[in-house]
Amino acid sequence: MRTSIATVSLSGSLTEKLDAAARAGFDGVEIFENDLLASPLTPEDVRTRCADLGLRIDLYQPMRDIEAVPEAEFARNLRRARHKFELMRRLGADTVLVCSSVSPQAVDDDALAAEQLSRLADAARESGVRVAYEALAWGRHVSTYDHAWRIVETAGHPALGTCLDSFHILSRGTGTQGIEDIPGEKIFFLQLADAPLLAMDVLQWSRHYRCFPGQGGFDVAGLVRHVLATGYDGPLSLEVFNDVFRQSEAGPTAVDARRSLLLLQEEVGEASLPGPVVPTGVAFAELVTPDAEPLAALLGALGFTRTARHRGKPVGLWEQGDARILVNTGPAVRREGARLAAIGLESPDPAAAARRAEALLAPVLPRRRAPQDAPLDAVAAPDGTELFFCADDRPERPGWRADFEDTGRPPGQEGIRGIDHLALTQPWHQFDEAALFHRGVLGLHAQESVDVADPYGLMRSRAVTDPGGSVRIALTVGAAPTDDTVHAQHIALATDDVVAAARRFRDAGGSPLPVPANYYDDLAARFEFADGELETYLDLGILYDRDAHGVFRHCYTRTVGRVFFELVQRDGGYRGYGAANAPVRLAAQHAVRALTGG
């Protein structure tokens, strides 16, 4: 199927929008009137530019407040419309979108609406244009797709059809089965948008919070299946009004948009992508840092040993149990200090995992970072984190280990079993993209996102996991682009005895993040503890949570650069990440930062 995107979904000038849409691989665009009005290009220039870029102009929009008005008003509307039809002829656009009227002058009279839309369609046909009538969810008298279709059916005009917009339909909770009652050839256009499930005024919801399919809570794929069942063969077009996209670079937004459509097409059986290869474990986490010393001290106190070093690069491998951490002091290092730069994912089929990622527009990284290195399939996530797909067939001696020579020291054995989860801070404008990427590209399951109060902002967190919980990534983001964030990335290490692990860490010279006594007083009110248990937690800064499945105990190290560690004990199948404790943890980190200036 052809794919299209409305220029309103992308930021910048019309030229920038068109370039971004073409580069991301869209077949066409909907040109939003305001984008044309603000452009120095003539309609003929726009037409040529689109043709040069291989873009069809699938729709011109919107035309507003046309139908069901007194005759004198309609005559003025028709004059206005004729003017726009002439413009469309110059643009080479053959379909115009007419939204259901919001005008106070409009009357609740379907026969009049049908009659006037029919006369509009007559004028359109004279200019070689067709009219697609869309019910705005907040239309004055017409606000549902079935109502708009009844009017179009009554008009019975060959140049008049309906435009279905998933937002207007799904935001009202109207059933979508009725779509199949519309003949496919009378659906002139299909616009797709998702949205988070919010209880708010529908116009505000539509104008500010729409997002790409798969990034919100609507069943967009279910709707598309009904539309395809009618025989509709026009484009799948994204029309997303979103405050964040308006501020983000058009290029990446367009890629995000195309990825969303590819996944949607796959879901409805209209695209065959290489299937998902779900990772089965975390092979390693790679930290880059300008100065290995603070990290080495921290890892040492946590019980890790440096078991190997890279043969060609300044990269050390630190191991304990199945937790493997690379510390890289090479040229990829940026000034802001230590950060989590790469993740090795164990995969049953690394090449196939990379093929899917590439098909879904993830940048593919060079297979060998140096001539002598073992080849590794790798792609970049939206935030730039490098994801390496590592064969999981030889866990005792994985292929990537060949690039490392042993130091002679065995892995640490101080109670850390492996990596429980990784928390990756996302750029503010890429949070929804990141969740869809990890779900669609890696085949991970996305949990609900949770908002956590930070003393100086808000943190949003969404976990993506494999079914067995062997790979858990918590994607986090601050609430605003300017957030002065302590939302550093972190590596959570799994242990069966967090009290022992925390004690060992402190005895080895580590300093756990201190937690205020008030927190433990509250815990005492909420749960029952054995004698002395809470005192131990207070002493070691251990936080406590419970869900329907089990218990979670966890504590934190101080932050080095942009990275800290967490020690985690999950009992009885606890599924979360201690979100209830996150405000206290964030406040404690702010407090430490205020003291140390770090």
Q: What are the C-alpha distances in Å from 379 to residues 275, 279, 385?
A: 16, 14, 9
The helix or strand, by DSSP H or E, that contains position 406, with its residue range, turns out to be: strand 404-406
Q: Is 210 in contact with 240 (CB distance < 8 Å)?
A: yes
Q: Which is nearer to Mg ion, 187 or 381 (CB)?
A: 187
Cα 130 from Cα 133, distance rounded (Å): 10
Cα 567 from Cα 492, distance rounded (Å): 6
Q: In what order do the strands lie in the sheet with 386-391?
A: 377-380, 386-391, 339-347, 281-288, 323-328, 315-320, 305-310, 404-406
Choose among ligand DHB, Mg ion, none what residue 61 binds, the Cβ cut-off being 5 to 8 Å by kind: ligand DHB
368 is a site residue for ligand DHB (CB under 6 A): no
| Inter-residue contact 279 to 353 (CB < 8 Å) | yes
Q: Can you tell me which of 62, 213, 321, 398 binds ligand DHB, judged by CB under 6 A?
A: 62
Task: Give the shortest CB-323-to-ligand DHB separation in angstroms.
Answer: 49
**Residue 529: other Cβ atoms inside 10 A:** 14
- Write out the binding residues for ligand DHB, residues 232-251 only, by CB under 6 A: 239
Bridge partners, 98 (sequence order): 63, 133
Nearest-approach distance from CB 575 to ligand DHB, in angstroms: 38
Q: Residue 62 or 510: which CB sits closer to ligand DHB?
A: 62
When binding is defined by CB under 6 A, the residue of 2, 79, 207, 526 that contacts ligand DHB is 207
Judged by CB under 5 A, the chain residues 214 through 253 that form the site for Mg ion are 239
Strands 305-310 and 404-406: antiparallel
Least CB distance from residue 97 to Mg ion, whole Å? Answer: 7
3-state secondary structure of 68: coil
DSSP H or E segment with residue 387: strand 386-391
* Gap between the Cα atoms of 330 and 459, Å rounded: 31
Query: Restricting to residues 143-202, which ones interact with Mg ion according to CB under 5 A?
Result: 165, 191
Which residues belong to the annotated binding site for Mg(2+)?
Answer: 421, 490, 566
Nearer to Mg ion, 165 or 414 (CB): 165
Q: Which residue is nearest to ligand DHB (CB)?
A: 62
Specify binding-site residues for a divalent metal cation. Answer: 134, 165, 191, 239
**Shortest Å, Cβ 32 to ligand DHB:** 8
Which of ligand DHB, Mg ion, none sits in contact with 281, Cβ below 5 to 8 A by type? none
- The closest residue (CB) to Mg ion is 165
Judged by beta carbon, residue 165 or residue 377, the one nearer Mg ion is 165
Q: Which amino acid, residue 473?
A: I
Contact set for ligand DHB, span 177-196 (CB under 6 A): 191
DSSP labels, 508-562: TT--BPP--HHHHHHHHHHS---TTHHHHHHHHT-EEEE-SS-EEEEEEBPPBTT
Verify binding: residue 132, ligand DHB, rule CB under 6 A: no
Residue 3 backbone phi and psi in degrees, to 5: -120, 150
Note whether 4 binds Mg ion by CB under 5 A: no
Q: Which does 62 bind (CB under 5 to 8 A by kind): Mg ion, ligand DHB, none?
A: ligand DHB
61 binds ligand DHB, rule: CB under 6 A: yes
DSSP E strands, 225-338: 236-238, 281-288, 305-310, 315-320, 323-328
User: Can residue 134 be called a binding residue for ligand DHB (CB under 6 A)?
Assistant: yes
Query: What is the distance between the alpha carbons of residues 340 and 326, in angstroms, rounded to a whole number?
Result: 10
Which spans of this chain sit near ligand DHB (rule: CB under 6 A)?
61-62, 97, 99, 134, 136, 165, 191, 206-207, 239
Which spans of this chain sit near Mg ion (rule: CB under 5 A)?
165, 191, 239
